[in-house]
Amino acid sequence: MDFELNEDLRLIRDMAREFAEKELMPRATGHDRNGTIDPEVFEKIGELGFWGLTTPEEYGGAGMGSVALSVVLEELNRACASTGVTVSVHNSLLGTPLGKFGTDAQKERYFPKLATGETIGAYCLTEANAGSDAASLRCRAEDKGDSFLVNGEKVWVTNAAWAGLFLVYVRTDENASRAKGISALLVPSDTPGLTVEKAEKKCGIRGSATNVVQFSDVLVPKDALLGELNGGFQVAMDTLDGGRIGIASQAVGIGRACLEASIKYSKEREQFNQPIGNFQAIQWKLADMSTRLEASRMLVRQAAWTRDRGAPCTQESAQAKLFASRTANFCADECLQIHGGAGYTDDFHVERLFRDARITEIYEGATDIQRLIIARKLLA
């Protein structure tokens, strides 16, 4: 097995790293404090082609896969997790299912603008009473002949405030049991009756947009159906396999930022007339952080490589997200401990890393859900 990135992947990694260091790192604290991402960042992401990283070339995208996306996301999240999750959701939770389940007409209509970032994508699955138990969702789409009439509410919708296209999961068969009556719809943001409402005030990733989305008598044409009627739950689960690779990549990026900050501080901070990096207690923390990060990256690459081959990757993506997200939080905790009281203030960016890391164990499948997925695969 070759663990080296090929020339194309090294090139795109270097592009992402340069962009992250020059454009995102200087802005990351501002994104966090202002609760939004600078519009210039979105434009530059478009110029680099990262909005269309997984979009097929015939529609103006880069035509690359999950490995390339994971490489880019690690670099972006090392600098700014708010920007990283925005790019991740756009590519993995909307672009990928559109490419896999969309009709030719849907791809021709949406992909060109998605590839440039003129249209940003969002994913509407979670509801107030349907989180880990996504099959219990109640947002309803009533059959009206040539269209669906959608009513309901979605919560925790990443990218909602600036999205131009929503992938919305709705119940289309009230008589079917749980997952069997769910469908997926592509709904443009300018559809009458669709409103983006409450913006969540979050612990971390504060620059990203997270909102409640309301659907009040929203008429959606039948050709907006993504995949088969009442087959939406399968679309959602397949999509989340890719999404979890994206969040695992985010976790590696955040953890890497924690390790780098810890190494730097350990060389600069002196106690007892020597750098604290000379002390074994600090050295062991750095060693454990580095080892867990390397293992996390390998799990992410394996899951992404498996998905790019078109093979089932549910277990691999769950393992990558489980371990990488736990590692990100471990690294953030150790990083803050190494920085001591200084790290607990906003004079150092490590307090932001600490807050940003926490969400990786929650969204796109909480830690305990990943354990359930893995165990079910093992016991099947």
> Which are the catalytic amino acids?
364
Residue type, 196: V
Q: Give the integer Cα–Cα distance in Å for 104 and 96.
A: 14
The 3 state secondary structure assigned to the chain is: CCCCCCHHHHHHHHHHHHHHHHHHHHHHHHHHHHCCCCHHHHHHHHHHCCCCCCCCHHHCCCCCCHHHHHHHHHHHHHHCHHHHHHHHHHHHHHHHHHHHHCCHHHHHHHHHHHHHCCCCEEEECCECCECCCHHHCCCEEEECCCEEEEEEEEEEEECHHHCCEEEEEEECCCCCCHHHHEEEEEEECCCCCEEEEEECCCCCCCCCCEEEEEEEEEEEEHHHEECCCCCHHHHHHHHHHHHHHHHHHHHHHHHHHHHHHHHHHHHHCEECCEEHHHCHHHHHHHHHHHHHHHHHHHHHHHHHHHHHCCCCCHHHHHHHHHHHHHHHHHHHHHHHHHHHHHHCCCCCCHHHHHHHHHHHHCCCCCHHHHHHHHHHHHHC
Measure the CA–CA gap between 221 and 270, rounded to whole angstroms.
66
Dihedral of alpha carbons 248, 252, 258, 261, sign:
negative
